[in-house]
Structures are given as structure tokens and as C-alpha cells.
Amino acid sequence: MNKIKNYIDLNKERFIEELFELLRIPSISAKKEFNNDTRKTAKLLKTHFLNLGLDNCEIYETKGHPIVYAEKLIDKNSPTILVYGHYDVQPVDPIELWDQDPFDPYIKKTKIHPEGAIFARGACDDKGQMFMHFKALEIMLKSNTLPCNVKLMIEGEEEIGSDNLELFVKNNKEKLSNDIILVSDTGMISKNIPSITIGLRGLSYMEVEITGPNRDLHSGHYGGTVANPINVLSKMISSLHDEDKKITIPGFYDNVIQISENDRNKLNSSPFNIKEFKESIGLPKEDGEKGFSTIERQSIRPALDVNGIWGGYTGEGAKTVLPSKAHAKISMRLVPGQNWKRINKLFTNHIKNIAPKTVKVKVIEHHGGQPYVSPTDSIGFKAASKAYFDVFNLKPIPTRDGGSIPIIALFEKELKSKTILMGFGLDSDAIHSPNEHYGISNFLKGIETITKFHYHFKELFNN
Ligand code: BES
Ligand code: MN
Ligand code: MN
């Protein structure tokens, strides 16, 4: 009989209720009015760590939201696993598109999750996924079988760029030293097809402000005599892609590493159905850079997208106004070879160059981060592979994800260790969107797979 599975089965209701308690706290890192809630979440995490019997449980204050740390060091000769996760969540807007309160978690069956899914902001990204590690530890500690030293570091600023964690890591290299970093904050191919994320894109996040006249003007009296900042900004934005959907910023592709034909074929052979892709997001046709497949566009090729654009009158009815200002937030997803600080500069220069003399332009840099790739021949990858096989009865497929977790590349630079991304989310989980959810079976299988990882990692490390 499988002891791990048995334990999970006997305790799953409590696991879910404990997760619900976490999900009820609106730990939105981007908004100051939730600062008490991020702090409350950090305290609750510390309570969990104390209850697990971990050592050196500590809340580290930062200039922003606190970092929670704990460890269990069993043996100097055993390998050390550093678990990273984030307890902060994305804002909930547009709130009117949620079926229920995003911070009052509930279980509902869906087509993909007939056994039920947990609906709440953060259910998958990342409270639900992070919490699997807590429960995996519980299983190993309760059964006195913890095979590796474990350190846990959970931050509250992932969704806003991890600036303070960066400082914490740089100042605590010894404390955080490890043999492998383990993170559950990505997805898998589908419910029954396990995969391990071996690549993440980097990010450069910018804001552009165009100023025309010094005040909003009457669009009749002035219309046709001055440059309209929204017209100008729209034209500038549309010029950032050419006919082939290539990004037109000079030098943008300069250092992009082309992957080998062999790796390209491998990437394209992973299960992907373009019809399902389109249907799942209600789209008549896909789009993207000429010469690349959708999988490639999503993983090994960079992208530039407007995340938000505003200015002028957007209220009810019609107000005739020629706005003084126009704004856009623009993100660029980066791939190996590209450096986000260089891309920031190229973007800023290009935007200034293409702005007409009739307006003033300001470019603001937000957060950014480097892309990440990890090898498939490491013992970390092998241990993860075995763990997935134990639980899903299939060898996991290595995949590259389009999203970003900028701190992962920083871990590699500062701590000199690689990260294994064991994510259990699905594309349909709607992370960052209304009605975010996380399948109960993904949650429970995740706990089991993570537990197995610890045992396999220890075994492979010693051999
Ligand atoms: N967990 C996501 C990243 C992710 C999601 C990676 C799905 C792969 C698949 C993370 O919380 C996130 O949202 N990251 C941000 C970047 C951050 C700097 C705001 C992102 O990718 O937009
Ligand atoms: Mn996340
Ligand atoms: Mn996120």
C-alpha cells in the first residue's frame, strides 16, 4: 500500500480547509491598502512552519512585504533543498467578472476538473501550489522520513517584481546555500500529461506617457490643429511590429539564441492542439511572428504586448475632448541571450526616436528580469522525472513556459544553483484572470509528487 497516498487521502479535507484559510486573506502586493493582509498572510505562514516543527521560523521585514523563512536541517551530509514560493496575489479586477467573491474560496466541478476545483484568487498562483510543499513536508516529518535538509523561503512581492527579495538573497547567500531549488509556480501540459518546465521567459516592463497640449482641449475648437496624444501613441505602438509580426526596435533580436533544429523539433513534438488552443480562449485564428509555430512563439521567441492603454474620455456617453495626455504599459517577454536592462534602453531610445516633434514623450522603466533555462541531465531533473513517473505513470515532458519568474535567474547568479520548476497548474486555471481556480486532484497529486521528489533527490544525490 502507498503510505503517502494514504496519508493524503485521510487528511485531504483538512489540507483543503487550511488552504482556504490562506486564500481568505487578500494579499494583493500591488496595492497599499492590502498591506495589513500581506502581513497577516506572512504570520499565518509562520504559524504553519511552527506547527510543522521547523526551525528558525522567521518573518523578515523588508522595505515592502515581508519574507517568511524556515528550515529543517537534519544532516550535514545530506543534500539541501531550498523551496521558494510566493504568497502575494494579483489584483482581482475586473471584479464584476468573478462568479463569486475572489477571497471567499469555494469548490466547484468543471469539465476539466470533475472532482472539483478550488476557486479563489491565488488558488493556483501561487498559494495553492506553494502550500503543496508545506503538506509534503508534513507527510515526511510526521512519518520521520525527511530525507534532505530543507529550507523554505516564501516572498510577498513576486507579482510586483521581487525587488526586496533580490536584496535579501544577495545579503543571505550562506543562509540560503543549497543543492537544488524547488519551485511550484508554473503549469503542466494537461491533467494527465506531466511536464517539467525547463525554460522561462524574461521580462522588460515599460510605461510610455505622451503629452500634447498642457490641458484637455475642446475637440471641435482645437481638433485638426494640434497633435492628439492618443492618435500619436496609437501610431507609435502599431509601428512596433512589422507585417511579419517582428518587433521593429533596432537591435531587439541581436543576441537572441537560436535553438538547434533538433531541439526545435523536440519542442514542436510535445502535445499541443491548435484547435483546442483557439477554442479555449474563444479565438477565430492565432497570430504571431512569421516562421514560427505557436509553441515556439510562446517559449523561444520574444514578444511585445501592450498591457494597458488609457487617456481622454472613457466614461458614459460622449464628451468631446482632445486629451492632453496618453499612456500605455508595454511588456516585452525575453528569451535566452537577451538582457532586460539592454532591452529597456533600446526600447526607451526607440520610443524617443519615433515620437513626432509635436509631442513630449516620457518613458518609465518598471520591473524586469532575465530568462531562465535549466538542463535535463541534472540529478534534480532526474529526481523530478522519477517523482512524476511514480504518480502519473508517465515520463514528464520538458517544456518551456512563456511566463516569467525573474528571481529564478537571480538565484542562479547569486546562489549558484539550479531550479527545478515542478508546476501543477493548467492553462485553463485562469491565473491573473477572473475565476482563478486550481484542480483538487492537481493539488493532491502535486503534494504526492513533491514528497517523492525529496526521496528520489536524496537517493540520486548519494549515488
Ligand atoms: N507564476 C507566474 C509565472 C508563470 C505562470 C510562469 C505560468 C509560467 C507559467 C508568476 O506569478 C507571474 O505571474 N509572473 C509574472 C512576472 C512578474 C515579474 C510580475 C509574469 O509572468 O507576468
Ligand atoms: Mn506565480
Ligand atoms: Mn502570477
Q: For the segment 103-159, what is each residue's pLDDT rounded down to a tens digit?
A: 999 999 999 999 999 999 999 999 999 999 999 999 999 999 999 999 999 999 999
CB-count burial class (<10 Å; 0-12, 13-18, 19+) for 231: middle
Q: Which helix (H) or strand (E) holds 106?
A: strand 106-108
What pLDDT score does 73 carry?
A: 98
d(CA 54, CA 35): 26
What pLDDT score does 249 carry?
A: 98
126 CA → ligand 3 middle, Å: 7
Mean pLDDT of 383-396: 98
Q: Which ligand is nearest to the CA of 189?
A: 1
CA dihedral 16, 441, 427, 100 (to 10 degrees): -40
CA 276 and chain centroid, separation: 23
Arch. (CATH architecture) of 2-200+371-462 = 3-Layer(aba) Sandwich (3.40)
Per DSSP bridges, beta strands 437-439 and 117-119 are antiparallel
227 CA → ligand 1 middle, Å: 37
Are 2-200+371-462 and 204-277+297-366 the same fold in CATH? no
In this predicted structure, the answer to whether residue 1 has a pLDDT above a threshold of 90 is: no
298 lines ligand 1 (CB under 6 A): no
What's the whole-model pTM score?
A: 0.95
114 CA → ligand 2 middle, Å: 24
Task: Report cis status (omega within 30 of 0) of the bond before 94.
Answer: yes
User: What percentage of the chain carries pLDDT values higher than 70?
Assistant: 100
pLDDT in tens, 281-322: 999 999 999 999 999 999 999 999 999 999 999 999 999 999
Domain boundaries, the chain: 2-200+371-462, 204-277+297-366
Residue nearest to atom 13 of ligand 1 (CA): 159
Residue nearest to atom 9 of ligand 1 (CA): 186
What pLDDT score does 213 carry?
A: 98
367 lines ligand 1 (CB under 6 A): yes
Mean pLDDT of 58-66: 98
CATH class in words for 204-277+297-366: alpha beta
Cell numbers that stand for 5 in this block: 497516498
Mean pLDDT of 65-82: 97
Of residues 398, 386, 435, 453, the one with CA closest to residue 119: 435
pLDDT in tens, 204-255: 999 999 999 999 999 999 999 999 999 999 999 999 999 999 999 999 999 9
User: What percentage of the chain carries pLDDT values higher than 90?
Assistant: 99
Ligand 1 pocket: which of 28, 29, 65, 125 to mutate (most atoms <8 Å of CB)?
A: 125
Residue nearest to atom 19 of ligand 1 (CA): 159
272 CA → ligand 1 middle, Å: 21
Cell numbers that stand for 210 in this block: 505622451
Rounded to a whole number of angstroms, the CA Rg of the chain reads 23
- The set of residues, in sequence order, having a beta carbon less than 8 Å from that of 275 and lying 6+ positions away, is none
Cell numbers that stand for 372 in this block: 531562465
By three-state DSSP, how is residue 333 classified? strand
What pLDDT score does 463 carry?
A: 86
User: CA of 7: how far to CAs of 14, 15, 132, 135, 387, in Å?
Assistant: 11, 11, 14, 10, 17
Ligand 1 pocket: which of 295, 366, 405, 436 to mutate (most atoms <8 Å of CB)?
A: 405
203 lines ligand 1 (CB under 6 A): yes
In this predicted structure, the answer to whether residue 192 has a pLDDT above a threshold of 60 is: yes
- The set of residues, in sequence order, having a beta carbon less than 8 Å from that of 114 and lying 6+ positions away, is none
CA 101 and chain centroid, separation: 23
